Amino acid sequence: MEYRILGPLEVVDEGRPVALGRLKERLVLAVLLLHANELVPRERLIDELWGASPPATARKAINVYVSQLRKALTRNGRDPIATADGGYRIAVEAERLDVERLRQLLVRARDRRAAGELEDAARLLRDALALWRGPTLAGLFLESHGRDEVAQLDELRLTTLMERIDCDLALGRHADVLGELHVLVGEHPLRERLRAQLMLSLYRADRQADALEAYQQARDVLVEELGIEPSPALQRLQHAILRHDPSLESPAGTAAVNGAVPVAAAAAPAPDAPAPPTRRHRRRWPLALALLLVFAACGAAAAILSAGTSNEPQIVPNSLVRLDPRSGKVVSVTRVGTDPGPIAVTPTAIWTANDGDGTISRYDLRTHGVQTRGGLSYRPGDTVDNIAADGEGSAWVTSELPWVTRFVAGSPTQPLQGWKAETIQVPGPAAGYLALGGGYLWTIPGPYTFPGQDDRVTLLDVATNRVVDSFRLRHATTALAYGDGTAWVGAFVNDAADSRHSAATTILTGPSWLYAIRAGDRPAQLFLDSHPLRKRLETGVTAGPIAIAVDRGPRAAVWVLTCGLCNEGAGHKTLLKIDPDTLDVLDKIPLDLRVDYLAVGSGAIWVAGEAADTVWQLDPNTGRILRAIPLHEKGLVTCAIAAAPTDVWVTIGWRKPHC
């Protein structure tokens, strides 16, 4: 049995995930694993689950949760959870818990680094970083000291990352880490160590002006946010760059970046003993003059343009649009493939599946470059249904066919060069919609390709590219999302008496349902009316949920967009807020908007529609419209929307029946 907390909570037994039950049970296990092989008092568990306001039945509830965990984790008669002295202890061997393997790798890496074996140290640090599958205990929110313990582990990840970058810099790989550092500085603007690493990388890449600009940006942020000047170490680095200090070109300069070796110790040459000019000294004045001319020209051009045009980029067809969620402004417009549709967001890139030409595009967040490649298992006239991607450079795409196409990245710097494409057959008439999570790719046929003809949920192991599970829900599947350690499946019961017919299509309708499915759940459990992870959302004539999004913030919720008699964007839309623990409907928000797409992120709910030229930002607490963001003129369509912690992404295509 393996236990994983560096990412979503997972327990794996012989390569297969173990179903861990409901949210509170997983929270108990999370606290026990944070203190593996240590006694955790029952009161501590109560604090972590309910904070300062526990229910009167809290102690009894803890006993029940532990009992359920024991049923899930006991193998061959061995129960890993022991009761002692008013608390519980989970016994886990060090190699069976990812955080313990992490600590062992860090000790070995630091020993290698101290011995000067930088290549081995960098390799071990990469192995340590590979153990993280996302934020520690992603989707689980503890109410007491556990928050600090989780934050400490996330801090350890950043420290490990900076140590690996130090090794790469010392090995002369400054060009390889530049893009990564730009992203990290944006994510952690107050981290001076990252700022220093970026400055050193730019300087070694013969970009002295950019290195000095990076220092000025660091100073501006520190003064504005904290009212302080940069640290002495960062100031010494700036002075060393201005002097072209030779130590910055050596491995020792990497240590100097972090203040370990004061760069200023290498004093400037005395006036009566000038140092011989280096390569950079000889070209310093021509470079400065060239920069002044460029800046002057750019300033003049900017002044002319600002007099008659908006600073906001113009939206064009076949593009990926980046929105600032705070201002609603368009940040960038990037051309991708023809009629881009579904979007997949990863920490390093934004992927789009392009319906018009059967390609996929990858927008690199570090370099801001785009790669577009063909190779989809795709028939002209079919619709590209969905795309999913991970942070390692792999992407999965489906169309109106019973298989998934997986693309595996080539090199880290050019992921779509030399890539490999693999077709994975799935049961049923189509793969349809995708969701990536828990080490699996989840698929459902979707509502419109084969409405009501198939109701399968299929799991593919992303490590082996094989189907490991497939079962039927007895309800027509309509939407899919993954979050909070759970696959959320929207469905409806097809009632032939309520089906609507027209010359072109048949609209199958029935009551809306929501399933919460975890790897290892069996169909026989899901079909029970008493099953806690199956919920009827709406009765009457509906087309079921058409979109699902999971809010992983402090107030976790599952958001479901439903539609009554939907057809080409028409019909009555309702936004439901669902408690992820009980599946109770917390709020029901009627939307008098022509919307088809739903996303959650950046502290808001985002909806858009194919037939609309606007993205709407909603308050997650009240459902009130906070902002309407007009995107384009008639003749174009909004094809998909996705939200990340700091940005909102939209794809724009030509006007046609489906993007």
How much is the pLDDT for 31? 94
Say how far apart CA 74 and CA 87 lie, in whole Å.
19
Quick check: 299 pLDDT over 70?
no
Q: For tokens 């955790």, name the residue.
A: 40
- Tell which wins on pLDDT, 158 or 408: 158
Give the range among 219-228, 503-512, 527-536, 623-632 with minimum mean pLDDT: 503-512
CATH class of 319-654: mainly beta
13-56: per-residue pLDDT in tens? 888 888 888 888 999 999 999 999 999 999 999 988 988 788 88
Enumerate residues 6+ apart whose C-beta is below 8 A from 595: 561, 569, 573, 607, 608, 609, 612, 616
Identify the H or E element spanning 144.
none
Give the range among 278-287, 542-551, 554-563 with minimum mean pLDDT: 278-287
Quick check: 108 pLDDT over 50?
yes
CA dihedral 621, 566, 518, 452 (to 10 degrees): 170
Residue 454 to residues 428, 487, 522, Cα–Cα distance (Å): 7, 18, 18
Handedness of CA 458, 461, 467, 469 (dihedral sign): negative
Residue 534 to residues 10, 184, 473, 580, 583, Cα–Cα distance (Å): 22, 40, 10, 11, 8
**Residue ranges per structural domain of the chain:** 2-122, 319-654
The model's confidence at residue 384, banded by pLDDT at 50, 70 and 90, is: low
423-439: per-residue pLDDT in tens? 888 887 778 889 988 78
Exposed/middle/buried for residue 476 (C-beta within 10 Å: 0-12, 13-18, 19+): buried
Structure tokens at 598: 């739903």
Q: Average of pLDDT values for 620-631?
A: 86
**Hey, how many other C-beta atoms are within 10 angstroms of the C-beta on 42?**
17
Q: Average of pLDDT values for 373-399?
A: 72
Quick check: 193 pLDDT over 50?
yes
Say how far apart CA 579 and CA 569 lie, in whole Å.
27
Averaged pLDDT of the chain: 79
- The winner for highest mean pLDDT among 116-120, 356-360, 503-507, 539-543 is 116-120
512-554: per-residue pLDDT in tens? 888 888 776 665 555 555 555 667 776 555 667 889 999 866 5
Q: Average of pLDDT values for 443-455?
A: 63
Say how far apart CA 53 and CA 134 lie, in whole Å.
30
**Hey, how many other C-beta atoms are within 10 angstroms of the C-beta on 506?**
12
Q: Average of pLDDT values for 87-96?
A: 92
- Tell which wins on pLDDT, 622 or 634: 622
Residue 581 to residues 86, 140, 287, 399, Cα–Cα distance (Å): 27, 11, 61, 33
Output phi, psi for 272, to 5 deg: -85, 5
Instruction: Give the strands of the sheet with 456-461, arranged side by side.
Output: 433-437, 440-444, 456-461, 466-472
- Tell which wins on pLDDT, 293 or 527: 527
Structure tokens at 259: 């203040």
Q: How many angstroms separate the most distant Cα atoms in the chain?
A: 99
Exposed/middle/buried for residue 50 (C-beta within 10 Å: 0-12, 13-18, 19+): middle
Identify the H or E element spanning 430.
none
How much is the pLDDT for 378? 54
Instruction: State pTM to two decimals.
Output: 0.56
DSSP string, 85-112: TTEEEE---GGGBHHHHHHHHHHHHHHH
Identify the H or E element spanning 288.
helix 284-308
70-88: per-residue pLDDT in tens? 999 998 888 999 998 789 9
310-348: per-residue pLDDT in tens? 456 788 889 999 998 888 888 899 999 888 889 999 888
Task: Report the SS3 class of residue 422.
Answer: strand
% of the chain with per-residue pLDDT over 90: 27
Q: Which amino acid is it at 42?
A: R
Say how far apart CA 590 and CA 467 lie, in whole Å.
39
Quick check: 282 pLDDT over 90?
no
Say how far apart CA 214 and CA 195 lie, in whole Å.
7
How much is the pLDDT for 367? 77
Pairing of strands 340-345, 456-461: unpaired
How much is the pLDDT for 584? 85
- CATH fold label, 2-122: Arc Repressor Mutant, subunit A (1.10.10)
How much is the pLDDT for 277? 40
- The winner for highest mean pLDDT among 222-231, 401-410, 419-428, 495-504 is 222-231
The model's confidence at residue 159, banded by pLDDT at 50, 70 and 90, is: very high
Residue 390 to residues 158, 260, 418, 440, 560, Cα–Cα distance (Å): 19, 36, 18, 11, 24
Angle made by CA atoms 327, 332, 335, in degrees to the nearest 5? 145
For residue 478, which of 504, 507, 455, 505 has the smallest C-alpha distance? Answer: 455
How much is the pLDDT for 521? 67
Quick check: 500 pLDDT over 50?
no
How much is the pLDDT for 449? 45
Identify the H or E element spanning 136.
none
How much is the pLDDT for 197? 93
Quick check: 304 pLDDT over 50?
no
Q: How many residues does the chain have?
A: 659
339 close to 640: Cβ distance less than 8 angstroms: no
